[in-house]
Structure 1
Amino acid sequence: MLKAIIFDVDGTILDTEQAILQSLQRTLQQEQQGTYSFDELRFALGIPGKVALQRLQVREIEAVHQKWCAAMLDFSHEVAVFAELKPVIQTLVTKPLQLGIVTSKTRQEIVDEFDPFSLSHYFRQVISASDTKKHKPHPDPLLKCLDLLEVAPKDAIYIGDSKYDLQCAKQAGAKFALALWGAKTTNGFEGADFILQRPEEILQLIE
């Protein structure tokens, strides 16, 4: 029996791809870390920012990460809630199940980049990259969220748009639903339990 639906944020609730890539590209250029194309930086979507900078072999990760976060706010006009999603969430909260969030954003990034959309109060638990030592694709963030919700993994669905989300769900023992509006492809998601073409299809999961 389905008792909880857990959402990723970037690429699932919020369309943040352009803001993330543009702000990272500009920050790396300003810090003289090199010039990268969007395709070269796309791997950073779905993992904590500091992990992405580490993979880019940035030397002063903490300082550069702070500048990247500040740059993200400069591109906030590029960010929007995916169409149809807010009414879906508003419908879900009327059902006998719990909603949560598991994201690679830090707690401060949630405050700066997610809270302004006035959606946070719909979710019983919000687990950020600040809340666990290990991050997606490790199952720890999702397991922590489910533990706080007092829901067994087998009774939960995690909705996300990246392979990190899929791996996190599978390792936690939860089902995974692909948000195709964010992922834009099913390649590499053969293990997904559900493929959602549009946000309104989330409601079919509880029928």
Structure 2
Amino acid sequence: MVPLKAVVFDLDGTLINSAIPFKEMKRKIISYLQSNGVTLGLLNEEMLTIEILRLAVEDLQRKGFSEKQIANTLTQASKIMNEVELQSADNATLIEGVPETLKALKRQGLKLGVLTRSCHEYTEKILTKFKIAKYFDAVAARDDVNQPKPNPEQAFYLLKLLGVDAEETLFVGDHWSDAECARQAGLRFVYVGAMQGNEKVCGLGYKSVNNFSEVLKVVNDI
């Protein structure tokens, strides 16, 4: 097996307990999209944000909206997401064991990165707030790429920043989109949290740990 050179982490739910009110965010996005041409009733807050935006784009394309109009609509939707994220940052909490684990991984000479669907400004604010920014060599946020995870573009962008190959990298996350991104990009992956009831992740066959502190053992066993 190729030696491990880097470990990259999801942010919300993996490094921190997020305070982002996702349903409120989705309601605001849906309301904005509907007021700008998207069919009423097409979208709902139970959908993933990426699905909401995909369906909105397809709907607007069918209705003959120009690419420029659609791009402007997506830009405004992204601003709504950014605002909600930034407003929630003060209420986020750090997951137990994160600083100690990051410090231990850096001592082993590994490069560390953050791969998140949150915006870059929010990500930097969170890393600074909890004094863990010093451990990371690079960050790839939602607004750093055209296609965020689970699309592999975001992972490839982060790998380039870190100067490592996919097979040399372990991705640690807590969501199906993390696992799917890892699969498409060719990254190793470990899921943090209970696999039970998460059929999408189970079906990908990745290793799981119950809590963040166990990540170090996974790395040491590679």
Smaller-chain TM-score bracket: 0.7 to 0.9
DSSP 3-state at the match of 1:2? coil
DSSP 3-state at the match of 2:7? strand
CA spacing shift, 1:102–1:3, aligned 2, 3 Å = same
DSSP 3-state at the match of 1:188? helix
Q: Could you tell me the TM-score, scaled by structure 1's length?
A: 0.78
CA RMSD, 1 decimal: 3.1
Matches within 5 A, 1:27-42: 27=28, 40=46
Q: Could you tell me the TM-score, scaled by structure 2's length?
A: 0.73
DSSP 3-state at the match of 1:157? strand
Matches within 5 A, 1:1-207: 1-16=3-18, 18-21=19-22, 23-24=24-25, 27=28, 40=46, 43-44=48-49, 52-53=52-53, 55=55, 60-180=73-193, 185-189=197-201, 190-207=203-220
- 8 A contact 2:96–2:213 mirrored in 1: no
Q: Distance in 1 between matches of 2:55 and 2:30?
A: 16
DSSP 3-state at the match of 2:170? strand
Gaps of 5+ in 1: none
Q: Distance in 2 between matches of 1:74 and 1:100?
A: 24
CA spacing shift, 1:185–1:176, aligned 2, 3 Å = farther
Please report how far the alpha carbon of residue 112 of structure 1 lies from its aligned counterpart in structure 2 after TM superposition: 4.0
Gaps of 5+ in 2: 35-39, 61-69
Q: Distance in 1 between matches of 2:162 and 2:85?
A: 31
Q: Which amino acid aligns with 1:132?
A: V
DSSP 3-state at the match of 1:105? coil
Percent of residue pairs bearing the same amino acid type = 21
Q: Which amino acid aligns with 1:9?
A: L
- 8 A contact 1:8–1:101 mirrored in 2: yes
Please report how far the alpha carbon of residue 113 of structure 1 lies from its aligned counterpart in structure 2 after TM superposition: 4.3
Higher Rg of the two aligned structures: 2
Q: Distance in 1 between matches of 2:133 and 2:170?
A: 19
- 8 A contact 1:159–1:179 mirrored in 2: yes
- 8 A contact 1:178–1:195 mirrored in 2: yes
- 8 A contact 1:166–1:191 mirrored in 2: yes
Please report how far the alpha carbon of residue 4 of structure 1 lies from its aligned counterpart in structure 2 after TM superposition: 0.9
- 8 A contact 1:125–1:149 mirrored in 2: yes
CA spacing shift, 1:55–1:112, aligned 2, 3 Å = farther
- 8 A contact 1:23–1:75 mirrored in 2: no
CA spacing shift, 1:64–1:150, aligned 2, 3 Å = closer
